[in-house]
Amino acid sequence: MTRTDPEPDQARAADRLLRDCVRHSAAPGAAILVLSTLGAATGLAMPAVLGRTLDLLLSGRPATGWLTACAALTCLLVVVDALDGVLTGTTNACSTAWLRRRLLRHVLAAGPRTTDRTPPGDVVSRLVGNAAHAGGAPAALAGTLAAVVTPVGGLVALALVDLWTAGAFLVGMPVLALLLKAFVRASGDSVARYQESQGEIAARLVEAVGGARTIAAAGTARREQARVLEPLAALSAQGYRMWRVQGRSTAQAAVIVPLLQIAVLAVAGARLAAGELSVGGLLAAARYAALATGIGMLVGRLNGLVRSRGAARRLAGLLAVPATAHGDATLPAGDGTLELRGVTVARGDRTILAGVDLTVPGGTSLALVGRSGSGKSTLAEVAGRLADPDAGTATLDGVPLRDLPHDVLRRAVGQAFERPALLGGTIGGTIAFGADEPDERAVREAARAACADDFVRRLPHGYDTPCDEAPLSGGEAQRLGLARAFAHPGRLLILDDATSSLDTVTELRVGEALTRQAGVRTRLIIAHRAATAARADQVAWLDEGRVRAVGPHARLWHERSDYRAVFADADADTDATVDEGTDRPAHDD
């Protein structure tokens, strides 16, 4: 079987993205093209007008009209350049905003799949820096097309002034063409590698910021600094390489262009001496030769397009992650029965879940128990459809999760995580955050159920306290995540290690409230503590991606010593984690 090379596919996807961006900015891009072309045409007209004016002045004839034309062309150039600058800046901003909105929608629609493939810091780098470079494509393309008008028009005008001078210029054109081709090839490769190094540094920096407390506790700040900045050498090398490529092209042009201009002037001088060319014609030929050799302008424009295409390839990498597709099935009335049949999930060469069959009857609770790496969190992701299995199905009240509409699915399934994200702006907004935001009364009731109301009311502005002004411990943040889950009732509630940072007493109170608050809701709970598993109706014991046993905690505890060993290992892992000073607190306060 022939494997598909991802590089050409990604290049094609990048080109499609740039084409979409150009189409989105077609109107301002066309306006930039018109303005730039008008500016180029004005610049092309100027030598001819100056030459004619000079001939009239030298002959002693009136030249008032031509002098006025020179002033008008000069003013027109100034106005056109100013309008072109304003429109280019506006178009770049609008195109960049459009790209960011499109990419952000796709990243959010793809969900956790995006960060499975690309580190979060690199995702941010692409959405910010690379989107800005790619957003410059419409204006850069319009400017490049208009920039071609100047050298081509200069050559045509040179031929109209005198065919011999144009012939002298054409001799050196192949050398200029080869110079441009070499610049685009070398510059494109160096830009791509430079942007990759930028993304790698951003990814490592985000990791370091997220683990700041661990780094401080371990005393490894200098080592971490070296790790974050390790790609800086490659970044510097590619940066110097870009400058070398541009410098070499500029230096080569600095040699070739004057030689061409000297050749044109020599031929024009000979034609002047022979009486075949006037002084004004000589001036026009010199100016048109300079315009025809305007490679510097083209190099700059091409450099912008090269940067845009390189950035678009990195953005296409984000778009390559498929967005989660949803169906249009109707969810019938039911008690929230969750069924997994033959669920298999693989990550690379590793199988995380292998043919898992599991049923959680509606209105009951099931604790997932297993050693680290047994597949508990992956199973919870499949059950909440944060991930799709590679094989098998997950159903809620008999309907496959993948067949449900997005809004129906998210209203039916509530989730709380080990490290909840505090979204919503304020503490109250965090609890209410979701598709259907509850009222203030429901928010406070959910906070009380999650044992969060007391500490929230002690904050400077209570429930209106901005999240970034609220100093929260790990356990307090978890209680806010639980409150958010309680505030959005559904048929299925999934707690992915959502009580790991709570002290024993608080966890007991939350567990009791969970049973009372959830009502008939089905609950799927990842449990590391024996007490948590004991409160569940049933326990599913996972081992190396397979369900080893299902039953009440008490029976498994008394009958299986290896089941008891799972909790002993979990306690040892928790102690080691605390001793090593990781970011997860050992207890609530």
CATH value at residue 410 = 3.40.50.300
In the predicted structure, residue 351 carries a pLDDT above the cut 50:
yes
2: in domain: no
CATH value at residue 188 = 1.20.1560.10
Residues 296 and 343 in one domain: no
Domain boundary among 267, 289, 319: 319
Residues 399 and 543 in one domain: yes
234: in domain: yes
**What region, left, alpha or beta, does residue 47 occupy, with left being phi > 0 and alpha being psi -120 to 50 degrees?**
alpha
Q: What's the confidence (pLDDT) of residue 515?
A: 61
In the predicted structure, residue 541 carries a pLDDT above the cut 90:
yes
Tell me the per-residue pLDDT of 377-431, one tens digit each, with 9 for 90 and over. 899 999 999 888 999 999 999 999 999 998 898 888 988 888 888 887 888 888 8
205: in domain: yes
Q: What's the confidence (pLDDT) of residue 122?
A: 85
- Report the alpha-carbon distance of residue 344 to residue 391 in Å, rounded: 5
Mean pLDDT of 548-553: 92
Residues 249 and 345 in one domain: no
Range of the domain at 416: 338-579
Are residues 361 and 536 in contact, defined by beta-carbon separation less than 8 angstroms?
A: no
Q: What's the confidence (pLDDT) of residue 146?
A: 78
348: in domain: yes
Residues 253 and 373 in one domain: no
Tell which wins on pLDDT, 349 or 300.
Answer: 349
Q: What's the confidence (pLDDT) of residue 571?
A: 53
Residues 388 and 462 in one domain: yes
Q: What's the confidence (pLDDT) of residue 418?
A: 80
Report the percentage of the chain scoring pLDDT > 90: 15
Residue 464 is given by DSSP the state G
Residues 69 and 34 in one domain: yes
Residue 585 banded pLDDT, cuts 50, 70, 90:
very low
What the block records as the tokens of 261 is 């201009």
What the block records as the tokens of 418 is 């080990």
In the predicted structure, residue 506 carries a pLDDT above the cut 70:
yes
Tell which wins on pLDDT, 555 or 176.
Answer: 555
Tell which wins on pLDDT, 139 or 517.
Answer: 139
Tell me the per-residue pLDDT of 83-133, one tens digit each, with 9 for 90 and over. 988 998 999 999 999 999 998 888 888 877 787 778 888 888 888 888 888
Mean pLDDT of 235-249: 75
Determine which helix (DSSP H) or strand (DSSP E) holds 66, and give its type and residue range. Answer: helix 64-110
Mean pLDDT of 143-151: 78
- Report the alpha-carbon distance of residue 425 to residue 429 in Å, rounded: 6
4: in domain: no
162: in domain: yes
Residues 36 and 156 in one domain: yes
Residues 292 and 161 in one domain: yes
Residue 486 banded pLDDT, cuts 50, 70, 90:
confident
* Block residue for tokens 């009440």: 552
Are residues 442 and 512 in contact, defined by beta-carbon separation less than 8 angstroms?
A: no
Return the half-sphere exposure (C-beta side, CA atoms, 13 A cut-off) of residue 501: 24
Q: What's the confidence (pLDDT) of residue 517?
A: 54
Tally the residues of the chain: 589
Most confident listed range (9-23, 34-48, 54-68, 105-119): 9-23
Domain boundary among 289, 319, 349: 319
Tell which wins on pLDDT, 480 or 44.
Answer: 480
Domain boundary among 288, 319, 350: 319
Q: What's the confidence (pLDDT) of residue 219?
A: 76
What the block records as the tokens of 197 is 């190094």
Residues 360 and 403 in one domain: yes
325: in domain: no
Q: Which of 140-144, 192-196, 436-440, 499-503 has the lowest mean pLDDT?
A: 499-503
Mean pLDDT of 337-364: 91
Beta-carbon contacts of 91 under 8 Å, excluding residues fewer than 6 positions away, are 25, 28, 29, 32, 138, 139
Radius of gyration of the chain (CA): 34
Tell which wins on pLDDT, 305 or 356.
Answer: 356
Q: What's the confidence (pLDDT) of residue 133?
A: 87
- Report the alpha-carbon distance of residue 372 to residue 46 in Å, rounded: 76
Q: What's the confidence (pLDDT) of residue 382?
A: 92
Residues 190 and 108 in one domain: yes
**Cβ–Cβ contacts within 10 Å for residue 115, how many?**
15
475: in domain: yes
Q: What are phi and psi of 469, to 5 degrees?
A: -110, 5
Q: What's the confidence (pLDDT) of residue 520?
A: 52
Mean pLDDT of 213-236: 80
157-184 exposure pattern, b = at least 16 Cβ within 10 A, e = fewer: bbbebbebbbebbeebeeebeebeeebb
Residues 245 and 369 in one domain: no
- Report the alpha-carbon distance of residue 485 to residue 176 in Å, rounded: 66
Tell which wins on pLDDT, 356 or 572.
Answer: 356
Residues 308 and 369 in one domain: no
The closest of 358, 371, 368 to 543, measured between CA atoms, is: 371
The closest of 106, 95, 107, 105 to 131, measured between CA atoms, is: 95
The predicted model scores a pTM of 0.69
In the predicted structure, residue 6 carries a pLDDT above the cut 60:
no
Q: What's the confidence (pLDDT) of residue 540?
A: 94
In the predicted structure, residue 555 carries a pLDDT above the cut 90:
yes
Tell which wins on pLDDT, 515 or 332.
Answer: 332
**Mean of all residue pLDDT scores within the chain:** 81
Helix, strand, or coil (residue 541):
strand
Task: Give the total number of structural domains in the chain.
Answer: 2
- Report the alpha-carbon distance of residue 223 to residue 220 in Å, rounded: 5
Q: What's the confidence (pLDDT) of residue 356?
A: 92
Report the percentage of the chain scoring pLDDT > 70: 86
